[in-house]
Amino acid sequence: MARTSFRTGDVDEAMEAIKDAFYSNRLDVLARPERFGAAFEVLELGGITIGDLACGADVRVRCGELGAYHVDIPVGGPLSWHQAGRPEQITAPGRAALFQPVGTTVLDRWVGEGRVIALKIDRALLERRVQELTGRAPRGPVTLAPELDLTAGRGRSWARLVETLATDLHDGTRLFEHPLVAGPLRDSVLNGLLLSAEHRYREQIDRVEGELRPAPVKRAMNAMRERPEHPFTTADLAAEARVGVRWLQEAFGRYVGMPPMAYLRTVRLERVHAELLAADPRTATVSEVAYRWGFGHLGRFAEQYRARYGRVPSQTLREGRPD
């Protein structure tokens, strides 16, 4: 976890600060440049970055593809924006703008008298949470509706949680950075967004309490997540679950949405991806990382990795996380 407090009247320095906390960008002052004065408070909570941001003058921010899910909540003034070639939208205070990880992204006008509460949400974190809650891995990005009403219902409750986080950015107590608080808080922000925003998985997530997985399925899943490098067979997993092979296969199809061995492959890919992002390309190799997590056939592994993450594993090792 990292907290950053930043002040500057220099546009280039502000661009660099946004790049460090969020994304590569081009920032242009549109009106009253003499009033420009960036004030950023940023906190990273293990896959979710929250910022309370102000620029003082009207600006345009061009970011390209984000590579992450993102939420902007305008405070004190509207925000006009567009993404992936779609028409420009104006999001007023009381609503949130929701951005996809793919598609060129532009804040066309961020008015100087307003602040923005910004949340960057790691793509893998959100999509893994959808899989955990629904039992099915999403195919491609989870398409969020472009706006969320924060004045009523779940949107209002979620906004209050986010505003509490933003307020804490200016507080010296740093309670929300404590590990006992940060993890549950991050999960609450993530779960609240998935329950509030419109997307194709929301009804399934809403019903998650009524469709709890049977204990044998949980035992098999836990075994795979605890020891994904182990050379499990379906019979081994059935033994871990203390049921027959056929029962386990049918239960995985019903409650997880894939066979046991496909779920194991998904877990292994997640572990490889995480290690490649963190590895030093001067000393690590894709093959050694893949073998360590149970992939014996590098050609098939590379195909499966590219299908899931949109690039070959060597590119992840070489370039790390996309901006």
Q: Is the pLDDT of residue 230 over 90?
A: yes
Q: Do 217 and 252 touch, CB atoms closer than 8 A?
A: yes
pLDDT over 90 (residue 106): yes
Is the pLDDT at 321 greater than 70, yes or no? no
Contacts of 312 (CB under 8 A, 6+ apart): 302, 305, 306
Of all residues in the chain, the percent with pLDDT exceeding 90 is: 65
* Residue 323 confidence class, pLDDT cut points 50, 70, 90: very low
**DSSP character for 35?**
G
pLDDT of residue 210: 43
Rounded to the nearest integer, the mean pLDDT of the chain is: 90
pLDDT at 74: 97
- Min mean pLDDT across 100-109, 149-158, 162-171, 263-272 is at 162-171
pLDDT tens per residue across span 135-174: 678 888 999 999 999 999 999 999 999 998 888 888 766 7
Hey, where are the domains in the chain? 2-205, 213-319
Question: Architecture of 213-319 per CATH?
Answer: Orthogonal Bundle (1.10)
DSSP string, 131-182: HHHHSS--SS-----SEEE-SSHHHHHHHHHHHHHHHHTT-TT-GGGSHHHH
Q: Which CATH architecture has domain 2-205?
A: Sandwich (2.60)
- Of 306, 304, 238, 257, the closest CA to residue 296 belongs to 304
Residue 185: exposed, middle, or buried by beta-carbon count in 10 A (0-12, 13-18, 19+)?
buried
pLDDT bracket for residue 322 (50, 70, 90): low
Please write the tens of the pLDDT for every residue from 235-253.
999 999 999 999 999 888 8
Average pLDDT of the residues in 222-238: 94
Q: Decide if 155 contacts 148 (C-beta within 8 A).
A: yes
